[in-house]
Structures are given as C-alpha cells and as structure tokens.
Amino acid sequence: MNSLNSTQPALLPRQGEWVFEKLRPIMDACGTALAPRDFHWAVNLSFHSAEAEHYEREHSAMIGALPEKWERLLAPLQTSHAGSIRWLDVGCGPGVMGRVVTEILAGKIGCATFLDPNAEMLRLCEAKAKLWPFPSRFIQGIISDLGPGEEFDLITCNSVLHHVVELEGFCRVAEALLAARGHFAHCYDPRREALEDRVLYRRRRVARFAHSWRDVRHRMGEMYRQAAHSPSPSSLIEAETNRQLLASGAIRIALDIREIWAVTDFHVHDQPGNFGKGISESELRSYLAPLRRQEYFSYSFFDLGNAIPPFRQIEQFLFKRRDPHGLLFGASWAKP
C-alpha cells in the first residue's frame, strides 16, 4: 500500500498533467517552481492539515444536515443482511461519516476502510472509530493506491469529488473497486447545471438581498477581530497553510484564502481563475459506466440564504419536494 508522505501521489489513469495547467495563473502569482500536479498536492495537503482541527466546528451546519441526505442515498442498502457490507469511505476527513452511516445502516456494516491523503485528518478519524460498532482500518492515500484485490459493497464520498482534479480516472477506479450489486454514493458537490439555472440565479439574488445585513455584520466582526488581534478560523487556516508551503519552498509569495480554496476546491464555481465549472450528471454517468444511476437530488436552493427563516424552512420544503434547482447535489449509482 502506498502512503502519501510526499506530494507525489500515485497517478490516476487517463488524465494527465494538462488538467492541472488550469492552476497556472495562481502558480505564477505565488512564484512556485513546482510542476502543476505537485503544486496542487502541496496546497491540498497543507490546506487540509491546517483545516483539520477547525473542520467540524466550521462545517457544523453541513454536518447537521447530512442524515437527511444520506438516508436517501443509502436507502437501497436497507435490505442488506447484518454485518454484510464492506464499506469504503474515500476522503474520510475527520470521520464525520462514521456516525452518519452507523445511525442509518445500524448493524449492516461488516467492516470499514477509511481512506484520506491527509495524515492529520486520518488521525482524527481513527480517534473516533472506537465508537463505531464495526472493525475499521485507516489508509493514507488516494483511491488508486488501493490494491487490485480490494472489493467493496459501498463506496461513499462526502464533500470530496470537487477536490478530485482527475475525476474521470477516479470514477473508473471506484467502479472497478465495487462488487457486483455494490453502490457508489456521493454528496455535497457543486452541480455543473447550476451555472445555467435561471431559477437558482433568481433565488440566490433574493436571498443575498435578504441577507445583506449579515454581510455588514460579518465585515464588522472582521474589523473587531483585527482590532482585538483575534483572527477568524479562515485567517488561521490561511496563515498555517502558507507557513507550511513557504517553509517547504513550494511557494515564494503567500496565497490568499480564496486562491487556496480555488486550488483545493478544484471543481467549485466562482473562484479566482474561474476554471471550476461544477460536476455534471452526464459526465459522471459516462465516467461511471456501467454503473446505473439510482438516486439524484439537488439542494442548497438559496446558497447563502439557508441560514435564517424563512429560507431554512423553504430549503427543507424544496428538498422534500425534490426541487431540481439546487446549487449542490448528491447521487448514488449501482453496479449491475
């Protein structure tokens, strides 16, 4: 098993260096001498190490909303026998999926593999595993590091696919690792179709307007923090990511947090460089063939606007109605 203690993970099939070339403007701005793939991985690993200790607090809203999404995605596995499911969680981070899946699939998980390229994230995941009622193993690496003898009945990715630059190769490996009648399920990724979605565009404008007071409050909070020398979590993460990158010689000029996010959240729209276009249902369908789509839903119908009433209630209502105009999506795929 390879482990990722360098910035050079195993190559995924089919895609190559050219995909990473989209990072060139950000690379030029920070004076890196690394090749584009190495630059991506240096930023990815430094950012997620810096983020690890803040992750669950910063993403508490997302984590609280996971059960309703994953109940839908895992519904076909409810007929599985006790202890029969061999589960792989890719990009497990600090292990939030352990509790979600345990609560939904109760005693059906036989064993679990938690995979992440980041040592800090994996360490936090391992610390939680004592609470889960199934044996677990922890592997530092990416999906193509798993050996050919591996086979799984369930592969999950929560908030991971948008980090995966070589998405086609990733999907082909995921498909190959699934057992017959196995399931691949993923959630919390940006919908490519959202770029052209007029309904979403109008809803987001209304929500932004209704939330403009929150921007004012946010700016005032930032000013207060600066005056009180009490930095926000995102400025701590930005500083620590840059500290690691500068110390290793990966960059010469510090990146700002929006550039760091653009590199790590590679497929997310509206970021510096503007190369992120979201992930489309049709590209996934072609990359994952012969898997068949079982579930597809969208959510985050107002983007910024879900945080306060009445948007929170309308978000719930639209999710239950399976409204197709969300910014984010979840999907599951089954092997024949």
Ligand X SMILES: C[S@@+](CC[C@H](N)C(=O)[O-])C[C@H]1O[C@@H](n2cnc3c(N)ncnc32)[C@H](O)[C@@H]1O
Q: Quick check: 123 and 93 in contact, CB under 8 A?
A: no
Residue closer to ligand X, measured from CB, 163 or 325? 163
- Of the ranges 85-93, 232-240, 304-312, 319-327, which one interacts with ligand X (CB under 6 A)? 85-93
Q: Quick check: 191 and 277 in contact, CB under 8 A?
A: no
Give the footprint of ligand X on residues 140-169 (CB under 6 A): 142, 158-160, 163-164
Question: Could you tell me the smallest distance in angstroms from the CB atom of residue 246 to ligand X?
Answer: 20
Give the footprint of ligand X on residues 234-253 (CB under 6 A): none
Give the tokens for residue 84: 């029969």
- Binding-site size, ligand X (CB under 6 A): 18
Q: Quick check: 82 and 257 in contact, CB under 8 A?
A: no
Q: Quick check: 174 and 155 in contact, CB under 8 A?
A: yes
Backbone angles phi, psi at 319, to 5 degrees: -65, -45
Q: What is the CA radius of gyration of the chain?
A: 20
Question: Could you tell me the smallest distance in angstroms from the CB atom of residue 129 to ligand X?
Answer: 14
Write a three-state SS string for 75-123.
HHHHHCCCCCEEEEEECCCCCHHHHHHHHHHHHHEEEEEEEECCHHHHH
| Residue 85 binds ligand X, judged by CB under 6 A | no
- Of the ranges 69-77, 113-121, 253-261, 322-330, which one interacts with ligand X (CB under 6 A)? 113-121
DSSP 8-state secondary structure symbol assigned to residue 144: G
| Residue 186 binds ligand X, judged by CB under 6 A | no
| Residue 117 binds ligand X, judged by CB under 6 A | yes
- Strand positions, DSSP E, the chain: 85-90, 109-116, 136-140, 152-158, 178-190, 292-299, 328-334
Residues forming beta bridges with residue 88, ordered by sequence position: 113, 155
169 CB contacts (<8 Å, ≥6 apart)? 12, 13, 14, 15, 144
| Residue 93 binds ligand X, judged by CB under 6 A | yes
Question: Could you tell me the smallest distance in angstroms from the CB atom of residue 101 to ligand X?
Answer: 11
CA distance 33 to 50: 22
Which of 4, 19, 23, 92 touches ligand X (CB under 6 A)? 92
Residue closer to ligand X, measured from CB, 93 or 190? 93
Residue closer to ligand X, measured from CB, 30 or 174? 174
Q: Which residue is nearest to ligand X (CB)?
A: 93
Which of 116, 189, 238, 315 touches ligand X (CB under 6 A)? 116
Residue closer to ligand X, measured from CB, 114 or 311? 114
Give the footprint of ligand X on residues 28-47 (CB under 6 A): 44
Question: Could you tell me the smallest distance in angstroms from the CB atom of residue 120 to ligand X?
Answer: 9
Residue closer to ligand X, measured from CB, 44 or 80? 44
Which of 27, 90, 185, 284 touches ligand X (CB under 6 A)? 90
Residue closer to ligand X, measured from CB, 45 or 207? 45
CA distance 129 to 155: 18
| Residue 121 binds ligand X, judged by CB under 6 A | yes
Q: Quick check: 183 and 332 in contact, CB under 8 A?
A: yes
Residues of this chain that interact with ligand X (CB under 6 A) are 44, 48, 90-93, 96-97, 116-118, 121, 142, 158-160, 163-164
